[in-house]
Structure formats: C-alpha cells, structure tokens
Structure 1
Amino acid sequence: MQCDYFSDGRCASCTLMGVPYQRQLAEKQRAAATALAAAFNESSWLEPFSSPPSGYRNKAKWVIGGRPTEPTIGILDGSGRVTDLRHCGICEPRLRESFGPLADFVGGTGLPPYNVPRRTGELKNLIITVSPAGELMVRFVVRARADVAPIAERLPALRQALPQLRVASVNIHPEHKAVLEGSDEVILTEQQTLPMTLNGITLQLRPQGFFQTNSAVAAGLYRQAGAWADELQPTSVLDMYCGVGGFALHCAPRSATSIRGVEISDEAVAGARQSAGDRPGPERFTFAGGDAAAVDTAADLVIVNPPRRGIGTELAHALNASPAAHVLYSSCNVDSLAKDLAAMPALRVRSARLFDMFPQTRHSEVLVLLERAGG
C-alpha cells in the first residue's frame, strides 16, 4: 500500500511499508519457521492466514496534541510533539471516518491537549474501537476528574455527529508516565459494552477490555482454534489469559461440560460472563479473575494466549506436568514461544499456523496445537 505519512518521514511505525504484501507474508512465515525450528518441522505448518494489507485495524490509540481549538490526533515524534495521522491507511475505513468529527469535538471541549515535554494540559489520549457492525467505542483519556464534565456536556453533539457511537467513556490518568491509560473509568453512555460479533459469536467488549486489533484475522484465528477443539472433543476446557472469552466461547464443543476462563482484568471477565450467557449451555462456562500462573491446570484442553513475554518457566513447567492432553498456544512473539515450548518437552507440536494480524509490520500471531507425547 502507499502511505504518504511513511513516504514523507512523518511516521515509521509500519516498518514493512512498501514491501509487496505476499513477500511480507512469506518472510513472516520463514522467520517464524526459523525461530521455532527446534520445536517442530515444516510439515507441521498449515498455510498462513492472510489479512487485507490495508484498512485492517479496528482500534486507534491516538495522542492528542496541538492547540485547544486546533487539536491534532496521532503519535508522538522524537521531540514529544504530535504528528497528526487522522488519514492513516491501515485503520478500517469506518474508523477513519470518525477521526475528523472526534478532532472537532475535542477542539470544542475547551480542554487543552496535554503537552508531554512541558507536562501541562488536560486531554491526553483518544482511544477508538470500531466493531464488525460499524459501531464505535470512544474513550477520552484525561488528566483529572474535573475534565469529565466538559466532555459529558457536549456528548449529545458528538452522538449527532457520530450516530454509530454506542459507548463513550472518560479515563482518568493523572500520572506522567509511559502508559496509555489509568485505572479509573467513567462511562458516559447507557450502553457499557461494544458487541464484537465474529463467526456468529458476540463478544462483549468493555472500555478496559482487550480485543484483537484485526477483526478479520481474529475471526480466522478463532475459527481455527474452534475447528481443532471440535476435532479433539474435550470434556473440559481451560482458557488462561481469556480476555473477553474469544477462545473459550469458540472452543466449546458439545462434548465439553466445563469451560473455565481466567483473566487478570476484571473488565474483561465481566464481558466474558455477559457473552457466555448467549451461548448454548451457558451453565458450562465459568469466568473468574486471577493470575493465570496460580490456576489449577487440570483440563483436557488448555488454551493460553499470553502477552509478548510468554507464559514463563513456572507455568510452562506446570503445563508440562499437568494431565492436559492438548494445549492450544496463541503467541504474538515467536521468540518467547520458542522458550516456552522448550520448557514443555512432554508436549509435542501437532500443527501450527501463522495469522498475519499486523500487515506492514514484522509482527504476527502464531497458533500452535500441542499434544502430550504418547497420548
């Protein structure tokens, strides 16, 4: 794809911009196979799952800069100023359509954008998510609770400009630190969750819940996991790092009488519980908050979808010694995946597939099906 921001040197986030897409995909597959060569051979790989090379991101995390009446939304440059990226081509078209009205709305609140080098101002970040149905969740990250009122007062005007807006909230983030948001969230709308429907299954996303950034590829990822679960016919499933329940709700064959999910985020757990109520046999599902490393891993099928650092030695050893016949491991970092697989010698790779969740970058997702040796 052609990106003027990249060509002009204003944004270098997409490090593979300009590389033909099929070449990107082939290079990612080759890199993953090389990193994981010690764990399994090429015959274990299924065909990579591709993505639209542009217009794929369902979420934008923008920094707010500029002047109060003329805000910019985008990313910080090396000097701490904001480069406006409201026409970013990797964002879904329906997401891009919201950027102009949102920038106008921000400018009308009278709240000054936060100046990172000077540590002054109030409006910090803008986080926008679009659902597969085209509905929006908008979150304003501000410095103080007093900043909520000017946003809430003008919300009717924003809803008129963006009739597809379903959830709006203000996140309070008073500290000057390199994290995008704080823990305090004020929801301004009656509707508190954004329905994200993939493969006929509706996942309820709350403001501080995690959801995969590429809806089309996430749907493919969950379909693959569900197909493997249907083939295995487990009687019990444990989804660690379950988030809003994407894997658990897709990996629930009729054979499974118990499907448990564990997640550190209470917001995500609340969304997962709500989503489970719409699934066949809702009584089979149990979602709880907690640390995945401290959970009893006894289940026929265990699913792990950890952050980039992987599951770590302690949990890898626990899974290696557990009675689980199969493990589904979804990883966004093949290096940490390779370390974790090396710590689970009792589990061998049966199949694997690369999912191109992030075109124009070197990042991807790899889903691996492990089975217990001799099982």
Structure 2
Amino acid sequence: MQCDYFDAGVCRSCTFMGVPYAVQLADKDTSVRSALAAHVDEAVWLAPFSGPESGFRNKAKLVVGGRRGATVLGILDGGGGVADLTGCGLYEPALADAVRALPGLVSRSGLTPYDVGQRSGELKNILVTASPDGELMLRFVLRSPGQLPRLREALDDLRTTLPAATVVTANLLPEHKAVLEGAEEVVLTEADSLTMRVDDVALHLRPQSFFQTNTAVATGLYRQATEWMSTLDPRVLLDLYCGVGGFALHALRAGAVRAVRGVEVSPAAVDSANRTATEMGATPGTAVFEAGDATQGLGPARDADASSEPAGTTPGSPEVLVVNPPRRGIGADLAWRIEHSPELRHVIYSSCNVTSLSRDLAAMPSLRVRSARLFDMFPQSAHHEVAVLLERV
C-alpha cells in the first residue's frame, strides 16, 4: 500500500507503510509466536487470518480544525493545528466517501471548530462508523450543548449529503483533555443503533459501544471461536467483556452452545446485545447479558468474601469461557478465579496485546493452549489480535 500522507510525513501512524503486505503478515506472525513461545507450542499455531491490506477500517476518529466555514478534519499536527486526513486509504469505501464529504457539510453548518491551543470553539471531534450494509453512524463531539440547535438545523443537509446516515448524535465533552468523547450522548435521529451484520447475525451498535475496527477480520475471529466451541459441545458459554455480544451470539446462532451469558461494563453495549438476542428469537433465559465489571463475572476476587454470590443470574454453570479484554488483559484476580474454577474446561482468550496475554497465561498454569491464531485486524501497523483456545489439564 502507498500513502501520500505517510510519504509527506503528515501521518506516521502506519508504521509498516511501504512494506509488502505478505512480509508484514509473516513478520507479525513470527513476532507474536515468539512473544508467546513459553506458553504456546509451535505445533498448535494455525495460519494467520487476514483481510484486505487497505480499505478495511469501519470507523474514523477525526479531530476537527480550521475555522468556521473552512473546516479541516484529520489529526493533530503537533503544533496545535489539524492536518487533513480525509483521503486516508484505510477507510472502507462507504466510510471514505462520508469522510470526504464531511468538511463541506461542517463548514456549511456554521459550527466553529475547537482550537486546542486557544481552548475556544465548539466542535472537537467527529466519530464515524460504517456498517457492512453501507449505513453510517455519525457522532459530533461538542464542547457544550449550546450548539445543539445549530447541529439539529444541519440535519436536513446532512441527510441530503449523506443519505446513508442512519444514526446521528451529539456527544458532549466540556472538559479540555486528551480524550475523544464525553459521557453524555444526545441522539438526534429516530434510530439509535447501527446494524452491524456479521455473517447471519445482525449485531446492534449504539454510541459508546465497542466494535472491532476491521469487520472482515472480526468475521473470521467470530467464526474461529464458534468453530472451536463446536468441537467442545458445551451447554453454557460465559462471555466476559462481551461488548455487543459478538462471540456469544454467533455461537448461539450456530448451535455451538445452548445458552449464553455475557458481562460488559457498557450499559449501551448490553442493551444492544439483548436486542440482538431478542431479534434472533432466543428462548427466554438462554441469552442473558448484564452490565457489570467483567473481572467479577466469575464471582468475588480471591481476597473478597468467598460467600458472595457471582453477579447476575446465570442460565446454568458455564463450561466454556470467552474473554476479550482491553489491552491491559484480564488481570491477576480474574486469572486466579479462572484458574480455580475447575468446571470451566475451556477458555477462549482473544487479545490485542501479547504482553498482557503472556502474563495472564502464566497465571493460569492449569490451562494449556490447544490452538492459537493471529488475526491481522490492523494491517500497516504492529497492532495485532491473537486468539487462543485453552484446555484444562
């Protein structure tokens, strides 16, 4: 892949830019195997799973710059300004078209871009997600609610310019800090969720819910986890850090499990997962998703009161566990709980950080890696996703 922004030194986010993709993939596979060599036998590694090397991102996180009537969208340039990145080659086609149209749309709206150096202005960021069906979710991150009327007035122009815009929201971020979004979300459209159709499961994505950046590779990841579960024939699956329910609902749809329970900190994601389960026609009680601390999904930590009940109502004792934690991993307490839960015969661990994965595997010596695979969710960079199937010995 060739990128003018990279060649000009405007953006260096893609550290592998210019390296042939076959070489990138082989090097990344070698790197993650080396990092996990103490825990994963070379013989259990499957061939890496990959998708397109460009045009794969389903989301754009754009900083807003310029001035009123002359909007720039991209990344901070290091000098307090914003460098244009609207032609980034990583975006899916529908997303790329939307990003190119947004500067003009924002300029016509009269919204004032936020000036980081001066701490003035209103529109800070725009977050855009494209679904596999080409629909869009647009989230405008505002400094204050004072610009909500102006944004509402721009909706007709937005729908004309981007007819695929299904969900439009205003996110409020009054603080001056290095984050992309605030806690408060105001939905401006009738629809409040984007349908992310992955295979035959119509997952719902609401604002502030996590979804994998690369839909094609996420599809491969869900298929692999479901295939692993199909060989195990468990009755009940527990999915911690379940997000919008991708792993659990694909397994349930395929008949790889009979019942699922998911735990996720985001109430919006939990609502989405429960909505998908209902639309799938899941029998009441066979798909239960709850908002809570995933690290407590197996009950109290080792230093807590052992008589405490696990969070939520479980549709039966789980025999297989899926965990898909953030970069920090599952941590010592949850690893301890898994290690001391003999009813859990198998664990599927999907990780975006082999360092924390290696540490967590070391804390669960009763579980051995039966199969492992790299999923190249992030071409052109060193970022990775690795899934391992663990079996209790």
For residue 41 of structure 1, report the CA deviation from its aligned partner.
Answer: 1.4
Pair 1:351-2:371 in alignment: yes
2:87–2:100 contact (8 Å) kept in structure 1: no
Pair 1:316-2:335 in alignment: yes
Q: Partner letter of residue 315 of structure 1?
A: L
Q: Which moved more, 1:273-282 or 1:164-173?
A: 273-282
For residue 291 of structure 1, what is the aligned residue in structure 2?
Answer: 293
For residue 350 of structure 2, what is the aligned residue in structure 1?
Answer: 330
For residue 216 of structure 1, report the CA deviation from its aligned partner.
Answer: 0.4
Q: Which moved more, 1:72-81 or 1:59-68?
A: 72-81
For residue 310 of structure 2, what is the aligned residue in structure 1?
Answer: none
For residue 193 of structure 1, report the CA deviation from its aligned partner.
Answer: 0.7
For residue 131 of structure 1, what is the aligned residue in structure 2?
Answer: 131
Structure 2 unaligned residues grouped into runs of 5+: 300-316
Distance in 2, Cα, partners of 1:346 & 1:230: 22
* Residue-by-residue CA offset, 1:152-188 (whole Å, 9 max, x unaligned): 1110111011111100000000001111100100000
For residue 76 of structure 2, what is the aligned residue in structure 1?
Answer: 76
Aligned partner (choices 321, 343, 347) of residue 302 of structure 1: 321
For residue 236 of structure 2, what is the aligned residue in structure 1?
Answer: 236
For residue 51 of structure 1, report the CA deviation from its aligned partner.
Answer: 1.7
Partner of 2:279, secondary structure, is: coil
Pair 1:18-2:38 in alignment: no
Q: Partner letter of residue 126 of structure 1?
A: I
Partner of 1:231, secondary structure, is: helix
For residue 153 of structure 1, what is the aligned residue in structure 2?
Answer: 153
Distance in 1, Cα, partners of 2:222 & 2:255: 17
* Residue-by-residue CA offset, 1:248-297 (whole Å, 9 max, x unaligned): 10122546343100000011011111111122534210000000111226
2:226–2:256 contact (8 Å) kept in structure 1: no
Q: Which moved more, 1:335-344 or 1:99-108?
A: 99-108
Structure 1 unaligned residues grouped into runs of 5+: none
Distance in 2, Cα, partners of 1:354 & 1:251: 20
Identity, % of aligned positions: 54
For residue 211 of structure 1, what is the aligned residue in structure 2?
Answer: 211
The 5 A counterparts of 1:254-273 are: 254=255, 256-273=257-274
Distance in 1, Cα, partners of 2:43 & 2:52: 26
Distance in 2, Cα, partners of 1:276 & 1:172: 30
Pair 1:143-2:143 in alignment: yes
For residue 276 of structure 1, what is the aligned residue in structure 2?
Answer: 277
TM-score, normalization: structure 2?
0.93
Q: Which moved more, 1:47-56 or 1:291-300?
A: 291-300
Partner of 1:50, secondary structure, is: coil
For residue 187 of structure 1, what is the aligned residue in structure 2?
Answer: 187
For residue 361 of structure 2, what is the aligned residue in structure 1?
Answer: 341
Distance in 1, Cα, partners of 2:96 & 2:338: 43
Distance in 1, Cα, partners of 2:256 & 2:71: 54
Superposition RMSD on alpha carbons, in Å?
1.1
The 5 A counterparts of 1:247-258 are: 247-252=247-252, 254=255, 256-258=257-259
Q: Which moved more, 1:131-140 or 1:275-284?
A: 275-284
For residue 300 of structure 1, report the CA deviation from its aligned partner.
Answer: 0.4
Distance in 2, Cα, partners of 1:282 & 1:31: 43
Aligned partner (choices 374, 380, 383) of residue 363 of structure 1: 383
Distance in 2, Cα, partners of 1:80 & 1:38: 45
Matched residue count: 373
Distance in 2, Cα, partners of 1:46 & 1:255: 21
Distance in 2, Cα, partners of 1:182 & 1:295: 27
2:169–2:187 contact (8 Å) kept in structure 1: yes
User: Residues 92 and 255 (structure 1 numbering): CA distance in 2 closer, same or farther, change over 3 Å?
Assistant: closer
Partner of 1:251, secondary structure, is: helix
Partner of 2:88, secondary structure, is: coil
Partner of 1:91, secondary structure, is: coil
Pair 1:173-2:193 in alignment: no
* Residue-by-residue CA offset, 1:297-342 (whole Å, 9 max, x unaligned): 6510100000000001110111111120000000000010000000
